[in-house]
Amino acid sequence: MNIFRFLADLSHMASIVILILQIRKTKSAAGVSYKTQFLYALVFVTRYIDIFFHYVSLYNTFMKIFFVTSTIYILYLMRVQYKPSHDPNIDTFRIEYIIAPSAVLALIINHGYTLYEILWSFSVWLESGAILPQLFMLQRTGEAETLTVHYIFALGIYRLLYIPNWIYRYVTEGRVEPIAFLASLIQTALYSDFFYIYYTKVMQGKKFELP
Amino acid sequence: SGDKADHDEL
């Protein structure tokens, strides 16, 4: 494991921890998109189904369990514990527009026509668009809690760092993963606007407000 | 590696 991948996984973990702490501390899930969290839960469940038959390492297994359980815990916090704080009226992105194209892409572009490979490909495409409801919600409200902004930033950094990881692995191991590489490029592009505003506002101590 | 899928990442 190289440094890019390790830091990527850490920032991915950090993003989830930030989100859980925010919801618990403020006893509110205001500003957090339930739809995005639901899509991530779907991403993890469809991708990590291999936990039962494909052992990689203790690290890998531990992280898979962490991502699945922590995301389902967020769904629980939003749906049960702090339900009144979440306003579905501003979380209006149609998730069919992400799920359907991901399913089509998974059927066309995959590593083989087995249930496992199709689900894996589906999860990769789905992940590339899963942040859209959250970004859409941010655009509707125009501003966000600092922690929500840090959450999205940490998530963007995670995806960005996987790109140098794949370049590094291509150079040192000759390993190629075109599906994940392409999906990650798309995903990082979706964050570019957000990164720009984060840099120009949040980095200078200002409130996150859209122009 | 290369052609064969090797999903060892998260």
Q: Is the pLDDT of residue A101 over 50?
A: yes
Which of A50, A162, A165 is opposite residue B7, by nearest beta carbon? A50
Phi and psi, residue A209, nearest 5°: -135, 135
- Which band of pLDDT confidence, cut at 50, 70 and 90, is reported for residue A160? very high
Q: Is the pLDDT of residue A71 over 80?
A: yes
Q: Which residues of B touch A60 (CB under 8 A)?
A: 8, 10
- Which band of pLDDT confidence, cut at 50, 70 and 90, is reported for residue A146? confident
Mutate to test the interface with A, among B1, B6, B7 (most CBs of A within 10 A): B7
Q: Is the pLDDT of residue A86 over 90?
A: no
- Which band of pLDDT confidence, cut at 50, 70 and 90, is reported for residue A26? very high
Is ipTM strictly over 0.90? no
Q: Is the pLDDT of residue A206 over 50?
A: yes
